Structure 1
Amino acid sequence: MSGIAENPILPLDHLALRGADDAPALVLRGETLDYKALRSRVSRLAAWLAQEIPEKGARVATWAAKGELTCLMPLAAARAGLIHVPINPLLKHAQVAYILADSGAVMLIGTPARLATLDEGDVPDSCQRFEEGAALAAAQALGGDLPPSAADPDDLVAILYTSGSTGRPKGVMLSHANLWLGADAVHDYLGLAADDRTLAVMPLSFDYGQNQLLSTWHAGGCVVPLDYLMPRDVVKAVERHDITTLGAVPPLWVQITEVGWPAGTAAKLRRLTNTGGALTVDLVRRMRSLFPDARLFAMYGLTEAFRSTYLDPALIDSHPTSMGKEIPHAEVLVINDLGDVSEDGEEGELVHSGPLVAKGYWQDPVRTAERYKPAPAASRYGGMAVWSGDRVRRDADGLLYFVGRRDAMIKSAGNRISPQEVEEAALATGLVVEAVALGLPDPRLGQAVHLVVRGASESSGTEQDLLRKLKEDLPNFMVPKVVHWREAMPIGPNGKIDRTGLAADLAAELAGAAS
């Protein structure tokens, strides 16, 4: 690595200080901010926030599409001594009301259309409301400047709420150091440089979505935020803005590889990054064929510790299903059911230690204690660690492989079945391009395997063809009892397939059929 361990940890807003004055930093609709303008806008927004909210450590929420407000707020709130609560713009008023109440936000800044959807009682009386344009105009009109922060790097600077797919959303507490070191690590292993241009397509309320801003600015590069409607919008943006870096989650990568890419446009990309789910062998091959000049980074992470591992792009063709090894500033151990470090090839729980570990869940000591526990005795960092609940194994070369989530394993007729293994087998048939395996209640089996798929556009295969091929590759107890075909998979606010919602819909369908 490039000696990142020696670099000082600074307050988050110092990231705006890293680029050359006249270098492009942020492409907005109608204008491009260079680093001198970025610094000025951050300083003025921070000064306005500090005037409106003098209490240090108070929470300020944003609920808007990607733009000047949502891109500048992580740094401006940090400089003002506040804690930023970015709310996914896809959430509805009830979810927003919960986040505002739970976080104790004293200010909400949003787009007029979104604010208009809030019902009486959704916004606490103690929470000011500002329209996005009015807030930005007020910050510029104030004309004040706030100097760079001198905050303790261990101070809280953001609360990122999980999607709530497994219950009510949890607010993950992040410090300046958490986000600074996350930006430092990703900038380092991706090899980002000042001439890089990152297309930010993921929600900025998502940990890696926000990191795309921070790691690019850490390198002195330029960010181009994009709220895309269709995958072809991504192609157009790469061409128009000479994009070098593109990150996405697997459902979007599937769509991106299904549209036409002019060879010259594809060649602009230097690196592709994946998070939020594993890449399949077939998808890796399609991405490598479509973008032969780009380095493909498969990554694994969890909001509670940001990023844990990445796979060296030189290994993606020979080890396409591997999660790779730990990233800088992270320690990843595989702990077996006896509490010891697993042997090579032995399944265990992924445990993440080190300074990327977040501070727990906001005002939720019970759920914090379930996930954040003392690091294993073998840890070189010690302290608190994130016990992920993900089952993995490590091979003799130190490469990690995902097995499945402990709470997602299907228990059928006494057998433990990894949904991922069933899904990979379905995708390997070439008859489907997306697959989700779920365990649903069954009076005889305990749980039966249900497979939800989206068919490949070029395939004319039937359910019988799919099941026949699965029976050739899977043991009988893993073959799905029922296959459900869908025109499209439901996507959650974080861009991933909504597995929990899908399971609930199927359970309701089965209950309705039974009655």
Structure 2
Amino acid sequence: MTTQTLVAADTGTDTVHGLLAAAVAARPDAPAVRDASGVWTYAELDAWSRAYADWLTAQGVGHADRILVRVGNTREFTALMFGALRRGIAFVPVNPAMKRFHLNTVVPDCDPKLVIGEGSHDTSVLRELTDRPVFELDEVRRGAEALYDAAPGAPDEEPVAPDDLGLLIYTSGSTSAPKAVVSTHAPIVFAARAIQARLDYREDDVVLVAVPVSFDYGLYQILLSVIAGAQVLLTSPDRHVRLLGTLHEHQVTVVPLVPSLGEMLLTLARRDRREAPPVRLFTNTGAALTGPVIAQLRAAFPQARVSPMFGTTECKRITVLEPDGDIARPGSVGRALDGTEVLILDDDGRLLPAGTVGEICVRGPHIMTGYWQAPEQTALRFRPDPVTGEITLHTGDYGHLDADGHLYFEGRRDDLFKRKGVRMGTLEIETAALDIEGVTAAAALAPAEGHDLTLYAVTDLTADEVLAQLTERLEAAKVPAACHLLDALPLTPNGKTDKQRLRREQK
């Protein structure tokens, strides 16, 4: 178990829009958010958020209602989010890449008062899934523009409390049907402040957000930047081929990465002869960057440090490793956030000593409320301590702590298994595969009915060559029975390897 010192309380209110109010008071004329079409200062972002709030009020949306917003990385997303939250309206962000298969569940599940989509095709699909009003983003933008220049509209309807619902964030559905994590204002704000205390974004930072803002990794970049008074630079997947040029043009200093984005950035950097842009910090969560990718990032961006992290939507962030801490502690994803605890428990809920693998469990003010309209799933993952009654989040992820409280991730329950009498995990096998020169990506599937341990690899080597080199790195029981070569690993919309799709293709 590890416990960290409590983060000092901020002088502002424990509401998300209170973070924006503090930034406006401190730096009204500083650039706050930029996208492909322009930039807003903090004062302008605040004014636009009020205009969008007034538009929502005019549509009859009020305190405790929910709106579903399925738009990409645009300034309007930020104004809609802060506008909804300042009126006590719950904001439900949904990735435009989410397929109808999952939308069939998500839209009726959150029961929104209204829905906003990106374009006509998008909204036509959404209208088939709900009888609530569905608007195109352009239509909403025009409505907000009319209110932006008008006299101030309706005041904030009533005070928003720290325990009011702020966000419903649907998990990616990579392991099951999407379910929404209920996020009230207080744990959102605590988590954002605690992460910022560890990463120390600065007011002169330009923070690239190339991961989807509907993904909590992307969304919280907005909150971290607001706390610091930094500038958020929003970009979308169709602009990723120009990613390095974007870093140069806007002098980006902070880049949150998932592996696919890191590998694309390195590919672009190899072709570019200019001096590296002034990136000072790469962060990583969602899926881990491999050791070779981290080393290549340091070589290509010599001013940059790397900060691996580990988290889950149910508490936002579990651990953050200090920048470049992986050099001394390879494989670590860091220490618990200040004011929180990480515990490693066995299957009976007993505390395990340092160095022993068990389930990663979490306590602290960043624990969200549970799952939306899913009491059985909530009871399974959010469990009260039998002695203190404090809620403990059981993540379903496995790992161990070292003697100094640094966490090492081993895998999910389904990724840990016994084969030929030997306990192992898919992460170990993937790491060994990525150690082979010429293997650029790898995913291992645990044995399942009808299939033995299987590796998927992206490489110019033959499958037999990959397996032969694995025998030099792993004991015999851990060498996969089969290796399949792919041009690229399938990815979820959030940039993680889509193992569910690989499993389906096995059948």
Q: Which amino acid aligns with 2:41?
A: D
Gaps of 5+ in 1: 509-515
Q: Is the 8 A contact 1:271 1:294 kept in 2?
A: yes
Pairing 1:20-39 to 2, within 5 Å after superposition:
20-39=27-46
Query: Does the alignment pair 1:374 with 2:374?
Result: no
Q: Mean Cα displacement is larger for which, 330-339 or 172-181?
A: 330-339
Q: Tell me what 2:99 maps to.
A: 92
2:162: which partner in 1?
Answer: 153
TM-superposed deviation, 1:48: 1.7
Cα distance in 2 for residues equivalent to 1:388 and 1:331: 13
Partner of 2:140: 135
SS at match of 1:370: helix
Does residue 179 of the first structure (1) align with residue 179 of the second (2)?
A: no
Distance 1:180 1:265, change over 3 A: farther
Decide whether aligned partners of structure 1 residues 154 and 265 sit closer, same or farther in structure 2, where only a CA change above 3 A counts. Answer: farther
Match for 2:205 among 196, 203, 216? 196
Query: Paired residue for 1:304?
Result: 314
1:345 aligned onto 2:355: yes
SS at match of 2:238: coil
TM-score, reference length from structure 2? 0.92
User: Counterpart in 1 of 2:402?
Assistant: 395
What TM-score does the superposition give when structure 1 sets the normalisation length?
0.91
Higher normalized contact order (CA 8 Å, seq sep 6+, divided by chain length): 2
In the aligned structure 1, how far is the partner of 2:154 from the partner of 2:424? 56
CA distance in 1, matches of 2:200, 2:5: 10
Q: Which amino acid aligns with 1:328?
A: D
Secondary structure (helix, strand or coil) at the match of 1:441 reads: coil
2:227 paired with 1:218: yes
The correspondence for 2:296, drawn from 286, 291, 305, is 286
Deviation at 1:116, TM superposition (A): 4.5
Q: What is the letter of the counterpart of residue 141 of structure 2? A: L
- Per-residue displacement from partner, 1:175-195 (whole Å, max 9, x unpaired)? 111221222122221111111
Aligned residue identity for 2:8: A
* Residue of structure 2 equivalent to 1:496: 496
Name the SS for the 1:497 alignment partner.
coil
- For structure 2, which runs of at least 5 residues remain unmatched after alignment? none
The answer to whether the aligner puts 1:451 opposite 2:455 as a matched pair is yes
Q: CA deviation at 1:333?
A: 1.2
Offset of residue 463 of structure 1: 2.2
Match of 2:17 among 13, 31, 49: 13
1:357 and 2:367 equivalent? yes
Residues 287 and 28 (structure 1 numbering): CA distance in 2 closer, same or farther, change over 3 Å? Answer: closer
* Residue number in structure 2 paired with 1:243: 252
In the aligned structure 2, how far is the partner of 1:197 from the partner of 1:372? Answer: 36
Moved more, 472-481 or 255-264: 255-264
Is the CA contact 1:2–1:188 (under 8 Å) kept in the aligned structure 2?
no
CA distance in 2, matches of 1:230, 1:430: 30
**Mapped partners of 2:372, 2:155: distance in 1:** 29
- Give, in whole Å, the separation in 1 of the partners of 2:67 and 2:454: 43
- What code does the residue aligned with 1:7 have? D
Which of the residues 432, 439, 447 maps onto 1:432? Answer: 439
- 1:469 corresponds to: 469
Using the alignment, how far apart are the partners of 2:29 and 2:228 within structure 1?
A: 15
Residues 6 and 338, structure 2, Cα contact 8 Å, conserved in 1: no
Aligned alpha-carbon RMSD (Å):
2.2
SS of structure 2 residue aligned to 1:401:
strand
Residue 100 and residue 395 in structure 1: after superposition, are their counterparts in 2 closer, same or farther (change >3 A)?
same
Q: Deviations over 1:366-419 (max 9, x none)?
A: 111111111475x8xx62121011111111232211112112223433433200
Q: d(CA) in 1 for partners of 2:37 and 2:54?
A: 25
CA contact (8 A) 2:104 2:129 kept: yes
Summarize deviations over 1:206-264 as a string: whole Å, max 9, x none: 11110011110111111110003364322111111111110011222122222226576
1:276 CA drift (Å): 0.6
Encode CA deviations 1:279-321: one digit per residue, 9 max, x unaligned: 2221221122122211211000001110000111242222231
Corresponding position: 1:272 with 2:282 = yes
Equivalent position amino acid for 2:18 in 1: H
Matched residues in 1 for 2:32 and 2:112: separation? 29
AA matched with 1:159: L
Deviation at 1:145, TM superposition (A): 4.2
Which SS does the other structure have where 1:258 is aligned? helix
Partner letter of residue 140 of structure 2?
A
Q: What secondary structure does 1:334 align onto? A: strand
Larger mean Cα displacement after TM superposition, 144-153 or 463-472? 144-153
Q: Which amino acid aligns with 1:109?
A: I
| Residue aligned with 1:118, SS | helix
Q: State the alpha-carbon separation in 2 of the partners of residues 2 and 193 from structure 1.
A: 22
Q: Distance in 2 between matches of 1:182 and 1:330?
A: 10
Amino acid at match of 2:178: P
Which residue of the partner structure matches residue 83 of structure 2?
A: 76
Could you tell me which residue of structure 2 aligns to residue 480 of structure 1? 480
CA distance in 1, matches of 2:120, 2:275: 35
2:179 counterpart letter in structure 1: K
- Letter of the 1:364 partner, please give it: A
Identity of aligned residues (%): 31
Retained in 2: the 8 A contact 1:43–1:146? no
**Per-residue CA distance 1:141-197 (angstroms, 9 max, x = gap):** 133345567311111111001111222210111011122122212222111111111
Residue 255 (structure 1) aligns with: 264
SS at match of 2:264: helix
Cα distance in 1, alignment partners of residues 414 and 318 from structure 2: 20
Separation in 2, partners of 1:33, 1:150: 26
Aligned to 1:234: 243
Identify the residue that residue 56 of structure 2 maps to in structure 1: 49
- The residue aligned with 1:512 is none
Distance 1:255 1:28, change over 3 A: closer
- Alpha-carbon spacing, 1:165–1:218, altered in 2? closer, same or farther (3 Å): same
Show CA shifts across 1:107-161 (max 9, x none): 01112234344176412x2x11111111122123133345567311111111001
8 Å CA contact 1:159–1:173 kept in 2: the answer is: yes
Query: Contact 2:65–2:113 (CA<8 Å) still a contact in 1?
Result: yes
Distance in 2 (CA, whole Å) between partners of 1:273 and 1:321 is 14
Say whether residues 1:384 and 2:391 are aligned partners: yes
Amino acid at match of 2:433: A
Q: 2: distance between equivalents of 1:192 and 1:75?
A: 20
Contact 2:5-2:339 within 8 A present in 1 as well = no
